[in-house]
Amino acid sequence: MSAADDAGPSRGAEAATAFAPASVSNLACGFDILGMALDAPGDRVTARRTGGSGVAEVEVRGDDGRLPRDPEANSAGAAVAELLEGLRRDDAGDDGRDHGPVPGIALEVRKGVPVAGGLGSSGASAVAAVVAADRVLPGRRPRARLLRCAVEGERAACGSRHADNVAPSLYGGLVLVRSAADADVVELPVPSGLAVAVIRPHAEVETREAREVLGDRVPLEDAVTQGANLGALVAGLFRGDLELVSRSLVDVIAEPKRAGLVPGYRAARDAALEGGALGANLSGSGPSIFALCRDGAGARSVGRAMREALEADAGLESDLFVSPASASGARVERVREGSE
Protein backbone atom coordinates (compact mmCIF):
# COMPACT_ATOMS: atom_id res chain seq x y z
CA MET A 1 0.00 0.00 0.00
CA SER A 2 1.73 3.18 -1.12
CA ALA A 3 1.42 6.74 0.09
CA ALA A 4 -0.35 7.56 -3.17
CA ASP A 5 -3.16 5.08 -2.60
CA ASP A 6 -6.49 6.89 -2.40
CA ALA A 7 -9.18 4.82 -0.80
CA GLY A 8 -11.68 7.64 -1.01
CA PRO A 9 -13.47 9.26 1.98
CA SER A 10 -12.23 8.08 5.36
CA ARG A 11 -13.18 8.61 8.99
CA GLY A 12 -9.56 8.08 9.90
CA ALA A 13 -8.00 5.06 11.57
CA GLU A 14 -7.22 4.70 15.27
CA ALA A 15 -3.52 4.15 14.50
CA ALA A 16 -1.28 3.57 11.49
CA THR A 17 2.35 2.69 10.89
CA ALA A 18 4.26 3.86 7.82
CA PHE A 19 7.72 3.15 6.45
CA ALA A 20 9.83 5.72 4.62
CA PRO A 21 13.19 4.85 3.06
CA ALA A 22 16.55 6.53 3.31
CA SER A 23 17.65 8.57 0.35
CA VAL A 24 20.69 9.79 -1.54
CA SER A 25 20.50 13.51 -2.21
CA ASN A 26 22.29 15.87 -4.62
CA LEU A 27 23.56 13.03 -6.88
CA ALA A 28 26.72 15.06 -7.49
CA CYS A 29 25.52 17.92 -9.72
CA GLY A 30 22.01 18.42 -8.29
CA PHE A 31 22.58 20.24 -5.00
CA ASP A 32 19.24 20.52 -3.14
CA ILE A 33 17.52 19.46 -6.38
CA LEU A 34 18.08 15.74 -7.08
CA GLY A 35 17.33 12.77 -4.85
CA MET A 36 17.01 9.00 -5.04
CA ALA A 37 15.20 6.56 -2.74
CA LEU A 38 16.89 3.45 -1.38
CA ASP A 39 15.29 0.09 -0.59
CA ALA A 40 16.80 0.21 2.89
CA PRO A 41 17.41 1.34 5.55
CA GLY A 42 14.31 3.30 6.55
CA ASP A 43 12.33 4.75 9.43
CA ARG A 44 9.00 3.54 10.75
CA VAL A 45 6.56 5.88 12.44
CA THR A 46 3.33 4.96 14.20
CA ALA A 47 0.73 7.72 14.46
CA ARG A 48 -2.05 7.26 17.02
CA ARG A 49 -5.16 9.34 17.51
CA THR A 50 -5.43 11.03 20.91
CA GLY A 51 -8.19 12.82 22.74
CA GLY A 52 -6.21 16.04 22.88
CA SER A 53 -5.12 18.42 20.16
CA GLY A 54 -1.88 18.97 18.30
CA VAL A 55 1.11 16.65 18.48
CA ALA A 56 1.95 14.98 21.78
CA GLU A 57 5.58 14.54 22.83
CA VAL A 58 7.33 12.38 20.23
CA GLU A 59 8.62 8.99 21.36
CA VAL A 60 11.82 7.96 19.55
CA ARG A 61 13.54 4.59 19.58
CA GLY A 62 16.86 3.60 18.03
CA ASP A 63 18.57 7.00 18.28
CA ASP A 64 20.44 6.48 21.58
CA GLY A 65 18.52 9.42 23.00
CA ARG A 66 20.05 11.96 20.61
CA LEU A 67 16.99 13.35 18.83
CA PRO A 68 14.64 15.92 20.39
CA ARG A 69 11.30 14.74 21.71
CA ASP A 70 9.80 18.22 21.51
CA PRO A 71 7.43 18.15 18.49
CA GLU A 72 8.57 21.61 17.42
CA ALA A 73 12.20 20.49 17.10
CA ASN A 74 11.68 16.91 15.91
CA SER A 75 11.26 16.49 12.13
CA ALA A 76 8.39 14.00 12.51
CA GLY A 77 6.58 16.14 15.06
CA ALA A 78 7.02 19.38 13.13
CA ALA A 79 5.82 17.76 9.89
CA VAL A 80 2.64 16.40 11.50
CA ALA A 81 2.05 19.68 13.33
CA GLU A 82 2.07 21.40 9.93
CA LEU A 83 -0.39 18.81 8.62
CA LEU A 84 -2.75 19.45 11.54
CA GLU A 85 -2.43 23.21 11.18
CA GLY A 86 -3.34 22.92 7.52
CA LEU A 87 -6.53 21.10 8.41
CA ARG A 88 -7.40 23.76 10.95
CA ARG A 89 -6.91 26.46 8.32
CA ASP A 90 -9.21 24.60 5.97
CA ASP A 91 -12.02 22.96 7.93
CA ALA A 92 -13.34 21.28 4.82
CA GLY A 93 -10.04 19.50 4.05
CA ASP A 94 -8.71 18.78 0.58
CA ASP A 95 -11.71 16.74 -0.53
CA GLY A 96 -14.30 19.45 0.09
CA ARG A 97 -16.10 17.64 2.92
CA ASP A 98 -16.42 18.77 6.52
CA HIS A 99 -14.65 16.19 8.69
CA GLY A 100 -15.35 17.76 12.06
CA PRO A 101 -12.78 18.47 14.78
CA VAL A 102 -9.15 17.69 14.03
CA PRO A 103 -7.88 14.98 16.42
CA GLY A 104 -4.58 15.11 18.26
CA ILE A 105 -1.74 12.80 17.21
CA ALA A 106 0.84 10.87 19.22
CA LEU A 107 3.95 9.67 17.37
CA GLU A 108 6.36 6.81 17.90
CA VAL A 109 9.46 6.99 15.69
CA ARG A 110 11.64 3.90 15.21
CA LYS A 111 14.92 4.94 13.63
CA GLY A 112 16.47 2.76 10.98
CA VAL A 113 18.30 5.53 9.12
CA PRO A 114 21.53 6.55 10.90
CA VAL A 115 21.52 10.04 12.39
CA ALA A 116 23.94 12.49 10.71
CA GLY A 117 24.86 9.86 8.14
CA GLY A 118 24.01 11.65 4.90
CA LEU A 119 21.08 9.36 4.11
CA GLY A 120 18.15 11.67 4.82
CA SER A 121 17.53 10.64 8.42
CA SER A 122 15.34 13.59 9.38
CA GLY A 123 13.56 13.42 6.02
CA ALA A 124 12.66 9.75 6.41
CA SER A 125 11.15 10.43 9.84
CA ALA A 126 9.16 13.39 8.54
CA VAL A 127 7.81 11.46 5.55
CA ALA A 128 6.87 8.33 7.52
CA ALA A 129 5.14 10.54 10.09
CA VAL A 130 2.93 12.44 7.64
CA VAL A 131 2.06 9.29 5.69
CA ALA A 132 1.02 7.53 8.91
CA ALA A 133 -0.84 10.58 10.25
CA ASP A 134 -2.69 10.94 6.94
CA ARG A 135 -4.31 7.55 7.59
CA VAL A 136 -5.30 8.53 11.12
CA LEU A 137 -6.83 11.85 10.14
CA PRO A 138 -10.20 12.01 8.39
CA GLY A 139 -10.05 12.20 4.60
CA ARG A 140 -7.00 11.84 2.39
CA ARG A 141 -4.49 14.44 1.30
CA PRO A 142 -2.55 14.51 -1.98
CA ARG A 143 1.17 13.77 -2.02
CA ALA A 144 1.99 17.40 -2.75
CA ARG A 145 0.43 18.45 0.54
CA LEU A 146 2.23 15.70 2.46
CA LEU A 147 5.48 16.80 0.82
CA ARG A 148 5.03 20.41 1.92
CA CYS A 149 4.50 19.22 5.49
CA ALA A 150 7.57 16.98 5.35
CA VAL A 151 9.63 19.93 4.11
CA GLU A 152 8.54 21.84 7.21
CA GLY A 153 9.87 18.93 9.26
CA GLU A 154 13.23 19.28 7.51
CA ARG A 155 13.27 22.98 8.34
CA ALA A 156 12.74 22.23 12.02
CA ALA A 157 15.53 19.64 12.07
CA CYS A 158 18.11 21.19 9.73
CA GLY A 159 17.29 24.87 9.52
CA SER A 160 16.43 24.97 5.82
CA ARG A 161 13.50 24.00 3.62
CA HIS A 162 15.00 21.50 1.18
CA ALA A 163 13.14 18.59 -0.41
CA ASP A 164 15.88 16.53 -2.06
CA ASN A 165 15.55 13.90 0.69
CA VAL A 166 11.85 14.01 1.53
CA ALA A 167 10.73 13.97 -2.11
CA PRO A 168 12.41 10.67 -3.10
CA SER A 169 11.54 9.19 0.30
CA LEU A 170 7.87 9.96 -0.36
CA TYR A 171 7.66 9.40 -4.12
CA GLY A 172 10.32 6.71 -4.61
CA GLY A 173 12.74 6.40 -7.50
CA LEU A 174 14.78 9.33 -8.77
CA VAL A 175 13.29 12.80 -8.59
CA LEU A 176 14.06 16.41 -9.40
CA VAL A 177 12.67 19.09 -7.09
CA ARG A 178 11.86 22.14 -9.18
CA SER A 179 10.43 24.00 -6.18
CA ALA A 180 10.30 22.82 -2.57
CA ALA A 181 7.96 25.68 -1.64
CA ASP A 182 5.44 24.68 -4.31
CA ALA A 183 5.98 20.91 -3.89
CA ASP A 184 6.79 20.84 -7.61
CA VAL A 185 8.50 17.47 -8.13
CA VAL A 186 9.49 15.84 -11.42
CA GLU A 187 9.78 12.05 -11.34
CA LEU A 188 12.69 11.10 -13.60
CA PRO A 189 13.00 7.91 -15.64
CA VAL A 190 15.42 5.26 -14.40
CA PRO A 191 17.37 3.34 -17.08
CA SER A 192 16.84 -0.40 -16.84
CA GLY A 193 19.04 -2.12 -14.28
CA LEU A 194 20.54 1.08 -12.85
CA ALA A 195 21.61 0.51 -9.24
CA VAL A 196 23.37 2.36 -6.47
CA ALA A 197 25.90 1.31 -3.84
CA VAL A 198 26.15 3.41 -0.68
CA ILE A 199 28.69 3.05 2.09
CA ARG A 200 28.02 4.73 5.42
CA PRO A 201 31.30 5.27 7.29
CA HIS A 202 31.14 4.92 11.06
CA ALA A 203 31.53 8.67 11.41
CA GLU A 204 29.15 11.62 11.35
CA VAL A 205 28.72 14.94 9.57
CA GLU A 206 26.09 17.32 10.89
CA THR A 207 23.94 18.78 8.09
CA ARG A 208 24.01 22.29 9.55
CA GLU A 209 27.82 22.27 9.67
CA ALA A 210 28.11 20.87 6.15
CA ARG A 211 25.84 23.61 4.80
CA GLU A 212 27.81 26.33 6.57
CA VAL A 213 31.09 25.36 4.86
CA LEU A 214 29.51 26.06 1.47
CA GLY A 215 29.06 29.79 2.04
CA ASP A 216 26.49 31.72 0.02
CA ARG A 217 28.39 32.63 -3.17
CA VAL A 218 29.09 30.53 -6.27
CA PRO A 219 31.48 31.72 -9.02
CA LEU A 220 29.76 32.24 -12.34
CA GLU A 221 31.97 29.69 -14.10
CA ASP A 222 31.10 27.01 -11.53
CA ALA A 223 27.39 27.81 -11.82
CA VAL A 224 27.55 27.36 -15.60
CA THR A 225 29.46 24.07 -15.30
CA GLN A 226 27.09 22.72 -12.66
CA GLY A 227 24.04 23.70 -14.72
CA ALA A 228 25.46 21.96 -17.77
CA ASN A 229 26.13 18.78 -15.81
CA LEU A 230 22.65 18.80 -14.30
CA GLY A 231 20.97 19.29 -17.68
CA ALA A 232 23.08 16.58 -19.29
CA LEU A 233 22.37 14.15 -16.46
CA VAL A 234 18.62 14.60 -16.84
CA ALA A 235 18.96 14.20 -20.62
CA GLY A 236 21.01 11.03 -20.12
CA LEU A 237 18.33 9.55 -17.87
CA PHE A 238 15.57 10.27 -20.39
CA ARG A 239 17.64 8.86 -23.25
CA GLY A 240 18.97 5.90 -21.30
CA ASP A 241 22.46 7.08 -22.23
CA LEU A 242 24.65 5.82 -19.39
CA GLU A 243 27.81 7.29 -20.89
CA LEU A 244 26.25 10.75 -20.76
CA VAL A 245 25.04 10.05 -17.22
CA SER A 246 28.60 9.10 -16.25
CA ARG A 247 30.15 12.26 -17.73
CA SER A 248 27.61 14.40 -15.90
CA LEU A 249 28.07 13.05 -12.36
CA VAL A 250 30.49 15.82 -11.42
CA ASP A 251 30.01 18.36 -8.64
CA VAL A 252 32.06 21.55 -8.77
CA ILE A 253 30.17 23.39 -6.01
CA ALA A 254 29.68 21.27 -2.88
CA GLU A 255 32.13 18.36 -3.19
CA PRO A 256 35.33 20.44 -3.24
CA LYS A 257 34.33 22.12 0.04
CA ARG A 258 32.84 19.09 1.79
CA ALA A 259 35.28 16.35 0.81
CA GLY A 260 37.60 17.23 3.68
CA LEU A 261 34.82 16.57 6.21
CA VAL A 262 34.92 12.84 5.41
CA PRO A 263 38.20 11.00 6.10
CA GLY A 264 38.99 8.54 3.31
CA TYR A 265 36.40 10.01 0.95
CA ARG A 266 38.69 10.46 -2.04
CA ALA A 267 40.13 6.95 -1.68
CA ALA A 268 36.62 5.44 -1.62
CA ARG A 269 35.47 7.55 -4.57
CA ASP A 270 38.51 6.61 -6.63
CA ALA A 271 38.00 2.91 -5.83
CA ALA A 272 34.41 3.18 -7.06
CA LEU A 273 35.45 4.75 -10.36
CA GLU A 274 38.25 2.23 -10.86
CA GLY A 275 35.75 -0.53 -10.18
CA GLY A 276 33.49 0.58 -13.02
CA ALA A 277 31.00 2.93 -11.34
CA LEU A 278 29.35 5.51 -13.56
CA GLY A 279 30.11 8.11 -10.92
CA ALA A 280 30.61 8.48 -7.18
CA ASN A 281 30.18 11.34 -4.77
CA LEU A 282 29.02 12.29 -1.30
CA SER A 283 25.48 11.35 -0.40
CA GLY A 284 23.98 14.61 0.75
CA SER A 285 26.36 16.28 3.18
CA GLY A 286 28.15 13.01 3.93
CA PRO A 287 29.74 11.02 5.39
CA SER A 288 27.91 8.44 3.26
CA ILE A 289 29.30 7.95 -0.23
CA PHE A 290 27.24 6.71 -3.17
CA ALA A 291 28.26 5.13 -6.47
CA LEU A 292 25.84 4.86 -9.37
CA CYS A 293 26.34 1.62 -11.31
CA ARG A 294 25.03 -0.12 -14.42
CA ASP A 295 23.47 -3.02 -12.51
CA GLY A 296 23.10 -4.64 -9.13
CA ALA A 297 26.07 -6.98 -9.50
CA GLY A 298 28.30 -4.06 -10.38
CA ALA A 299 26.96 -2.07 -7.43
CA ARG A 300 27.75 -4.87 -4.99
CA SER A 301 31.30 -5.20 -6.34
CA VAL A 302 31.87 -1.43 -6.26
CA GLY A 303 30.43 -1.19 -2.75
CA ARG A 304 32.90 -3.77 -1.46
CA ALA A 305 35.77 -1.92 -3.15
CA MET A 306 34.71 1.37 -1.53
CA ARG A 307 34.55 -0.22 1.92
CA GLU A 308 38.02 -1.72 1.55
CA ALA A 309 39.51 1.55 0.32
CA LEU A 310 37.91 3.54 3.13
CA GLU A 311 39.25 1.21 5.80
CA ALA A 312 42.73 1.09 4.23
CA ASP A 313 42.98 4.87 3.88
CA ALA A 314 41.18 6.16 6.98
CA GLY A 315 40.82 3.13 9.23
CA LEU A 316 37.05 3.51 9.18
CA GLU A 317 34.59 0.65 9.03
CA SER A 318 31.37 1.20 7.13
CA ASP A 319 27.96 -0.26 6.33
CA LEU A 320 27.07 -1.13 2.75
CA PHE A 321 23.64 -0.68 1.16
CA VAL A 322 22.87 -1.74 -2.40
CA SER A 323 19.59 -0.76 -4.01
CA PRO A 324 17.96 -0.43 -7.43
CA ALA A 325 17.66 3.18 -8.50
CA SER A 326 13.93 2.58 -8.92
CA ALA A 327 13.26 1.77 -5.24
CA SER A 328 9.75 2.38 -3.89
CA GLY A 329 8.86 5.32 -1.70
CA ALA A 330 6.90 5.57 1.54
CA ARG A 331 4.12 3.11 2.30
CA VAL A 332 1.57 2.36 4.98
CA GLU A 333 2.37 -0.99 6.59
CA ARG A 334 -0.28 -1.42 9.29
CA VAL A 335 -3.60 0.20 10.10
CA ARG A 336 -5.77 -0.24 13.20
CA GLU A 337 -9.25 0.93 12.43
CA GLY A 338 -11.39 2.61 15.06
CA SER A 339 -14.64 1.14 16.35
CA GLU A 340 -17.77 2.14 14.51
Q: Which domains does the chain have, with CATH numbers?
A: 15-186+327-336 (3.30.230.10), 195-324 (3.30.70.890)
Q: What is the mean pLDDT of residues 162-174?
A: 97
Looking at this protein, which amino acid is placed at residue 166? Answer: V
User: Backbone phi, then psi, for 36, in 5-degree steps?
Assistant: -140, 135
- Residues 151, 166: contact at Cβ < 8 Å? yes
Answer with the residue of higher pLDDT: 4 or 234. 234
Please state, in angstroms and rounded to a whole number, the distance separating the CA atoms of residues 76 and 63: 14
pLDDT for position 5: 46
Please state, in angstroms and rounded to a whole number, the distance separating the CA atoms of residues 49 and 136: 6
Q: What is the mean pLDDT of residues 99-116?
A: 88
Three-class secondary structure assignment of the chain: CECCCCCCCCCCCCEEEEEEEEEEECCCCCCCCEEEEEEEEEEEEEEEEECCCCECCCEEECCCCCCCCCCCCCHHHHHHHHHHHHHHHCCCCCCCCCCCCCCEEEEEEECCCCCCCCCCHHHHHHHHHHHHHHHHCCCCCCHHHHHHHHHHHHHHHHCCCCCCCHHHHHHECEEEEEECCCCEEEEECCCCCCEEEEEEECCCCCHHHHHHCCCCCCCHHHHHHHHHHHHHHHHHHHHCCHHHHHHHCCCCCCHHHHHHHCCCHHHHHHHHHHCCCCEEEECCCCCCEEEEECCHHHHHHHHHHHHHHHHHHHCCCEEEEEEECCCECCEEEEEECCCC
CA distances from 164 to 27, 112, 322 (A): 10, 19, 20
pLDDT for position 98: 52
C-alpha distance across the termini of the chain, in Å: 23
Environment class of 47 (CB within 10 Å of its CB; exposed 0-12, middle 13-18, buried 19+): buried
Per-residue pLDDT band for 95 (boundaries 50, 70, 90) equals: low
Q: What is the mean pLDDT of residues 167-193?
A: 96
The string of pLDDT tens digits covering residues 32-89 is 999 999 999 999 999 999 988 899 889 999 998 999 999 999 999 999 999 999 988 7
Pick the most confident of 6-10, 63-67, 236-240.
Answer: 236-240
The string of pLDDT tens digits covering residues 109-138 is 999 999 989 999 999 999 999 999 999 998
User: Percent of the chain, pLDDT > 90?
Assistant: 79
pLDDT for position 73: 94
pLDDT for position 213: 86
Q: What is the mean pLDDT of residues 147-163?
A: 91
Q: Which residues of 279-292 are buried (b: 16+ CB within 10 A; e: fewer)?
A: bbbbbbbbbbbbbb
User: Percent of the chain, pLDDT > 70?
Assistant: 92
pLDDT for position 340: 41
The string of pLDDT tens digits covering residues 248-274 is 999 999 999 999 999 999 999 999 999
Per-residue pLDDT band for 181 (boundaries 50, 70, 90) equals: confident
Per-residue pLDDT band for 3 (boundaries 50, 70, 90) equals: low
pLDDT for position 103: 83
Q: What is the mean pLDDT of residues 230-244?
A: 98
What value does the mean pLDDT of the chain take? 91
pLDDT for position 172: 98
